[in-house]
């Protein structure tokens, strides 16, 4: 007989095999199937039928329970619960289909492969840019890359504040990249923005690599940095640590603000 330990490790295996968004998709599919089965059984055995909102609520509960069983993060369980009931309410409002399509296309262009990379778009703020600037040497020309440059705010700021530095950003999501490239032209910034995945860039070309990604992305970034970054170069991460790797420097603006971590190679 399968032990509890085995079932738990099988569940965690499912979590590791699929990115959370793909797992979430399958959970909703399974919950839909289970909802259908429960409705059929309820009708055949007890002649019970549910109203539209009841059916959606049933799917909400089932999907949230499945997400809990698969130990998804708490906010994923909340999303699972809200998803079917939100569909129900949206259908009541007769929103025209083009609104859904536009919203989908906008979020796709903004977040692109977040479902795979687990790195959503959210920009860093000027307070962070100022702290990063302090870490860039003034006395010699350096090359800087922001991996996942978003709207390019940090890169354009550094290009302005450190005119002898070559500042570049690479961004995988089309909309933030397009905005950053246009802003660089409008502001006549020397910053350069490339569209693509930073995994395809050779990090040995840079003296400073900056990252503001997510906890899920840090081990992969570290593996690449160790392989490619040259001696004397630095990796800077805002907010997210690399598990098990002690940084050379850890800077915090205020006790409640996120840290900046610096590793030197």
Q: Which residues bind ligand SAM (CB under 6 A)?
A: 117, 119, 121-124, 146-150, 153-154, 170-173, 176, 197-199, 212-213
> Is the separation of the CB atoms in 23 and 15 below 8 Å?
yes
Tell me the C-alpha distance between 91 and 122, whole Å: 30
> Is the separation of the CB atoms in 262 and 249 below 8 Å?
yes
Q: Give how far Cα 66 sits from Cα of 24, 29, 55, 186, Å.
A: 10, 11, 17, 49
State the nearest-atom distance from the C-beta of 111 to ligand SAM, in Å: 7
Tell me the C-alpha distance between 208 and 206, whole Å: 5
Helix (H, G, I), strand (E, B) or coil at 156: helix
State the nearest-atom distance from the C-beta of 109 to ligand SAM, in Å: 10
State the nearest-atom distance from the C-beta of 218 to ligand SAM, in Å: 11
State the nearest-atom distance from the C-beta of 74 to ligand SAM, in Å: 21
Residue of this chain nearest to ligand SAM (CB atom): 148
Tokens of 201: 């860039």
- Cβ distance to ligand SAM smaller for residue 123 or 215: 123
State the nearest-atom distance from the C-beta of 235 to ligand SAM, in Å: 14
Can you say how many angstroms the Cα of residue 111 is from the centroid of all Cα atoms in its chain? 8
159 class by beta-carbon count within 10 Å (0-12 exposed, 13-18 middle, 19+ buried):
buried
- Cβ distance to ligand SAM smaller for residue 111 or 265: 111
- Cβ distance to ligand SAM smaller for residue 154 or 218: 154
- Cβ distance to ligand SAM smaller for residue 71 or 116: 116
């Amino acid at each position: 007989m399968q032990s509890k330990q085995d079932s738990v490790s099988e569940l965690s295996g499912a979590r590791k095999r699929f990115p959370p968004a793909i797992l979430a998709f399958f959970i909703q599919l399974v919950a839909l199937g289970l909802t259908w089965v429960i409705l059929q059984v309820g009708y055949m055995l007890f002649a019970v039928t549910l109203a539209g909102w009841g059916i959606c609520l049933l799917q909400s509960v089932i999907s949230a329970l499945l997400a809990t069983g698969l130990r998804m993060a708490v906010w994923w369980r909340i999303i699972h619960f809200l998803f079917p009931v939100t569909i129900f309410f949206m259908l009541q409002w007769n929103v025209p289909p083009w609104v859904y399509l536009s919203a989908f296309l906008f979020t796709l262009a903004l977040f692109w492969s977040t479902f795979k990379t687990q790195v959503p778009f959210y920009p860093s703020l000027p307070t962070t840019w100022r702290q990063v600037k302090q870490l860039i040497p003034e006395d010699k020309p350096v090359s800087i890359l922001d991996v996942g440059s978003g709207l390019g705010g940090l890169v354009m700021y550094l290009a302005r504040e450190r005119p002898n530095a070559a500042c570049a950003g690479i961004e995988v999501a089309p909309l933030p990249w397009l905005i950053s490239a246009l802003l660089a032209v409008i502001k006549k910034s020397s910053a350069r923005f490339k569209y693509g995945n930073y995994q395809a860039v050779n990090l040995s070309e840079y003296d400073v690599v900056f990252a503001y990604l997510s906890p899920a992305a840090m081990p992969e970034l570290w593996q690449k940095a160790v392989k490619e970054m040259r001696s004397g170069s630095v990796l800077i991460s805002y907010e997210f640590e690399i598990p098990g790797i002690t940084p050379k420097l850890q800077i915090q603006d205020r006790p409640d603000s996120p840290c900046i971590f610096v590793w030197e190679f």
